[in-house]
Structure 1
Amino acid sequence: MTTKIISPRIGLSATCLALLLSGTAHAQTFDPHLQVVPRTEVEAARIKSVTTPTRDFTKAVPFESNQGGAGTVRRTGDQQAFSLSQKNLSFEQAAEFSVGNGLFERIWVTPPSSTIASDGLGPMFNTRACQDCHIKDGRGHAPTGPDDDAGSLVVRLGIPVDPEPADLQAVADYISAKGDPVYGHQFSDLSVAGMTSEGKVTVSWRDADTVTLAGGETVTLRRPEWSLDNLGYGPLDPATKISPRVAPQMIGLGLVEAIPAEDIIALADPQDADGDGISGRANMVWSSEFNQPMLGRFGVRASTPTLRQQAADAFHADIGIASPLHPTPWGDCTQAQTECRNAPDGLSPEQDNLEVSGDSLDLVTFYSRNLGVPARADVDDPQVLHGKQVFYETGCISCHQPSFVTSRLQDRDEQSFQLIWPYSDFLVHDMGAGLDDGLPAGQASGAEWRTPPLWGLGVTHQVSAERNFLHDGRARTLTEAVLWHGGEGKAAKDGFVRLPPEDRAALIAFLESL
Structure 2
Amino acid sequence: MHVRRGLAAAVAVIALSGPVAVAVAAATGVLEWRDDLSPHDRGRVAAVTAPATGFSAPEPFELKPAGAATVDKIVNRDIFSHPSGNLSFEQRESFFLGNGLFRKDWVSSPSSTQASDGLGPLFNARSCQGCHLKDGRGHPPRNAEDDAVSMLIRLSVPPSSDAERNQLLERSLAVLAEPTYGTQLQDFAVPGLPAEGKVSVTYEEIPVALNGGETVSLRRPTFAITDLGFGPMREDTLISPRIAQPMIGLGLLEAVAEADILARSDPDDADGDGISGRPNLVRDVETGEIIPGRFGWKAIQPTIRAQTAHAFAGDMGLSTPVLPVHSGDCTDAQADCLAMPDGAQPALGPEEVPEDLLDLVVFYSANLGVPERRDVDDPQVLAGKEQFYAAGCPACHTPKYVTRRDAEREAHRFQLIWPYTDMLLHDMGEGLADHRPEGDADGSEWRTQPLWGIGLTGTVNEEATFLHDGRARTILEAILWHGGEAQAARDRVVAMQPAERANLIRFLESL
Q: TM-score, normalised by structure 2?
A: 0.92
1:351 CA displacement? 2.7
Identify which of 82, 89, 101 aligns with 2:87. 89
1:69 CA displacement? 0.9
Q: Equivalents in 2 of 1:281, 1:227: separation in Å?
A: 31
Identify which of 401, 406, 426 aligns with 2:403. 406
1:375 CA displacement? 0.5
1:300 CA displacement? 0.4
Query: Partner of 2:224 in structure 1?
Result: 227
Deviations 1:339-358 (A, max 9, x none): 00011111111331110001
> Quick check: 1:108 aligned with 2:106?
yes
> Quick check: 1:142 aligned with 2:140?
yes
Query: Partner of 1:491 in structure 2?
Result: 488
Which residue identity lines up with residue 139 of structure 1 in the other structure?
R
Q: Equivalents in 2 of 1:480, 1:41: separation in Å?
A: 44
> Quick check: 1:364 aligned with 2:352?
no
Query: Partner of 2:343 in structure 1?
Result: 346
Q: Equivalents in 2 of 1:296, 1:56: separation in Å?
A: 33
Q: Which runs of 5+ in 1 are unaligned?
A: 1-14, 26-35
Q: Please tell me the root mean square deviation across aligned C-alpha atoms, in Å.
A: 2.3
Identify which of 325, 328, 331 aligns with 2:328. 331
Q: Equivalents in 2 of 1:411, 1:437: separation in Å?
A: 35
1:159 CA displacement? 1.1
Q: Equivalents in 2 of 1:277, 1:174: separation in Å?
A: 32
Query: Partner of 1:69 in structure 2?
Result: 67
Query: Partner of 2:8 in structure 1?
Result: 20
Deviations 1:391-437 (A, max 9, x none): 01110000000000000126522000000000011001000011111
1:19 CA displacement? 5.4
Query: Partner of 2:435 in structure 1?
Result: 438
Query: Partner of 1:384 in structure 2?
Result: 381
Q: Equivalents in 1 of 2:149, 2:336: separation in Å?
A: 24
Q: Equivalents in 2 of 1:215, 1:164: separation in Å?
A: 54
> Quick check: 1:117 aligned with 2:115?
yes
Q: TM-score, normalised by structure 1?
A: 0.91
Q: Equivalents in 1 of 2:508, 2:10: separation in Å?
A: 41
Change (3 A) 1:173 1:81: same
Mapping of residues 231-242 of structure 1, within 5 Å: 231-242=228-239
Give yes or no for contact 1:174–1:442 (8 Å, CA) kept in 2: no
Identify which of 477, 498, 503 aligns with 2:500. 503
Deviations 1:464-485 (A, max 9, x none): 1213100110000111000000
Identify which of 465, 473, 477 aligns with 1:476. 473
Give yes or no for contact 1:400–1:451 (8 Å, CA) kept in 2: yes
Structure 1 range deviating more: 491-500 or 40-49: 40-49
Deviations 1:208-238 (A, max 9, x none): x211100000011101110110001111101
Which residue identity lines up with residue 141 of structure 1 in the other structure?
H
Q: Which runs of 5+ in 2 are unaligned?
A: 14-33
Identify which of 448, 451, 465 aligns with 2:448. 451
Give yes or no for contact 1:423–1:453 (8 Å, CA) kept in 2: yes
Structure 1 range deviating more: 113-122 or 404-413: 404-413
Q: Equivalents in 2 of 1:298, 1:216: separation in Å?
A: 39
Query: Partner of 2:209 in structure 1?
Result: 212
Change (3 A) 1:22 1:435: closer
Give yes or no for contact 2:11–2:263 (8 Å, CA) kept in 1: no
Query: Partner of 2:317 in structure 1?
Result: 320
Query: Partner of 1:46 in structure 2?
Result: 44
Q: Equivalents in 2 of 1:241, 1:280: separation in Å?
A: 24
Query: Partner of 2:16 in structure 1?
Result: none
1:37 CA displacement? 7.5
Change (3 A) 1:163 1:45: farther
